[in-house]
Structure 1
C-alpha cells in the first residue's frame, strides 16, 4: 500500500529521487507528513497491547502473554529515530539536514507546517534540499552518465544545487538580485502594514517606495531604515544564501552594517538598532545570535 501511494504521488507532489524516509516525518520536523499504512497498523497493535497489559480483569491474563514487549510510545519514538537516521546519514540527502540542525529548525520548517504552498512547489523545494534535482553534477557523478559536470552557464565549476542557488556569478545580478528584492518587498510590506502606512492588500503586489512617512514613523529605501519619531531608529538588513552565511561573508556584512549605523547615528544624533533578516535560498533561517 505504501509503495503504491508513493508511486501515485510521484507524478505531481513527490520527487522520484527525493529521500523516502523524509516523506513520512512530521511537517514541523522537515518532513512531508505522510502516514505510513504499515506503521499505522503496527501502532494500533502496540496500543491494543498496552491496553491488555494494563487491564486487571482475569480473562485478559492469557492474552498478556501474547502482547508486544514494546509500548506504543516506545514504538513510535523508535520509528521516528529510524526515519531521521535514514535521512540525515545519507551522504547526499543528509547535507541539508546537517545544515538545518545548526540553525533555527522551527523556523526552517514553518513554511512546510503552514501548508500554504502548492504540493508541487513543496516537492520541488524538498527535492532541491535533498539535492535530487537533475543537475549536471548529479548526472555525471551519481548516475554515472557521460558528459561534463561543469555549470552550463559559468562553465568553470560543478553544476550542483548549491552552485545554482547562490554561487554562479553569471546570474548574480539577475536571478539572485530578483530573489533579494522579493524578500525586501515582503519585509517592506509587513513594516508598512504594521506602521499603518499605505500598502497593497497582497505583499507581491506591493511597490516599495523610497520614502514613506506618517505622524509616528519614517521608512527609507534602499536599505530599509525605519525612524521611529518617538524612539531610536533601526536598520533592517536582508541577506539570502543557500547554505547560510560563511564567516567571511558575515564579517563583510557586519562591517558594512556597522559603518551604516555610525553614519545614521551621526546624522540623527541618536542610537540605532539593527534587525538582520538572514534567510537561506532553501528556507534555512540563521539564529540571530550566530550573526
Structure 2
C-alpha cells in the first residue's frame, strides 16, 4: 500500500477537511494539545530576545537558550513579558496581559506587543481585534505612566509565514 487515503478528514480531529489552514490554526485536537500555544510562545520568546538585544540587555547567544523573565530592565527600559499590567482602573474584557510591554521611562514612551496566529482568512481581522482589545489598556497606561506616546503593535503570523 502507498499509505494514501481516500478520506479527506483531518487525521487529528476527524471533524473537518484536512488542509494546511486547518492544521496550522483550526484543529480543536491540536489546540487542546497545546500545539498552537507552543508556536505562539516560541514567536513571543524570539521577539523578547530581539528586543533585549536591541536595548543591550544581556541575553543568551542562542534564542533557543533564552528564557524570558516576567520583568527585565536596563537603564530606563522595562520589558514586561506575559505579565498582568495593572493601571488602577477596571478594563473591560480583562485585556491586561499582553505578550510584551516595553516601557521606556527616559523617553516616556511605551509599546504594547501582542502576537496572534489566525488562519489566512482572518489576518486583517486578527490585527484589528488585537489593536481594539488593548485600546483601553493603552489609554490607561498613558495616564498612569504619564507617557508622551504609546503604541500597540499587533504581530500577525499567518500560515504562509510559518
TM range, normalised to the smaller chain? Answer: 0.7 to 0.9
- Structure 2 residue ranges without an equivalent (≥5): 83-98
Which whole-Å CA distance do the structure 2 matches of 1:172 and 1:221 have between them?
Answer: 22
Q: Secondary structure at the match of 1:245?
A: helix
- Structure 1 residue ranges without an equivalent (≥5): 1-138, 140-144, 285-291
How far residue 247 of structure 1 moved from its aligned partner, in angstroms, is: 4.9
Q: Which string of whole-angstrom CA distances, capped at 9 and with x for unpartnered residues, describes residues 146-166 of structure 1?
A: 3x3221222211111211011
Decide whether the 8 Å contact of 2:44 with 2:115 is kept in 1: yes
Aligned mate of 2:116, from 229, 239, 243:
239
Decide whether the 8 Å contact of 2:57 with 2:74 is kept in 1: yes
Which whole-Å CA distance do the structure 1 matches of 2:41 and 2:26 have between them?
Answer: 18
Q: Following superposition of structure 1 onto structure 2, how do residues 113-128 of structure 1 map, counting pairs within 5 Å?
A: none
Decide whether the 8 Å contact of 1:265 with 1:272 is kept in 2: yes
Q: Which string of whole-angstrom CA distances, capped at 9 and with x for unpartnered residues, describes residues 90-136 of structure 1?
A: xxxxxxxxxxxxxxxxxxxxxxxxxxxxxxxxxxxxxxxxxxxxxxx
Instruction: Look up the match of 2:67.
Output: 207
Aligned mate of 1:275, from 137, 153, 156:
153
Q: Which string of whole-angstrom CA distances, capped at 9 and with x for unpartnered residues, describes residues 65-100 of structure 1?
A: xxxxxxxxxxxxxxxxxxxxxxxxxxxxxxxxxxxx
How far residue 189 of structure 1 moved from its aligned partner, in angstroms, is: 0.3
Decide whether the 8 Å contact of 1:244 with 1:279 is kept in 2: no
Instruction: Look up the match of 2:81.
Output: 221
Instruction: Look up the match of 2:13.
Output: 154
Q: Following superposition of structure 1 onto structure 2, how do residues 40-59 of structure 1 map, counting pairs within 5 Å?
A: none
Q: How many residues align?
A: 141
Computing the radius of gyration from Cα coordinates, the structure with the larger value is 1
How large is the Cα RMSD of the aligned pairs? 2.2
Decide whether the 8 Å contact of 1:242 with 1:282 is kept in 2: no
Q: Following superposition of structure 1 onto structure 2, how do residues 247-258 of structure 1 map, counting pairs within 5 Å?
A: 247-258=124-135
Instruction: Look up the match of 1:171.
Output: 30
Alignment of 1:263 with 2:140, yes or no, is yes
TM-score by length of 1: 0.44
Which whole-Å CA distance do the structure 1 matches of 2:24 and 2:137 have between them?
Answer: 28
Cα gap change, 1:184/1:244 in structure 2, threshold over 3 Å: closer, same or farther? farther
Which whole-Å CA distance do the structure 2 matches of 1:180 and 1:281 have between them?
Answer: 12
**Structure of higher RCO (CA pairs closer than 8 Å, 6+ residues apart):** 2
How far residue 246 of structure 1 moved from its aligned partner, in angstroms, is: 4.1
Aligned mate of 2:58, from 186, 198, 204:
198
Alignment of 1:230 with 2:89, yes or no, is no
| Structure (1 or 2) with the greater helix fraction | 1
TM-score by length of 2: 0.76
Which whole-Å CA distance do the structure 1 matches of 2:106 and 2:40 have between them?
Answer: 30
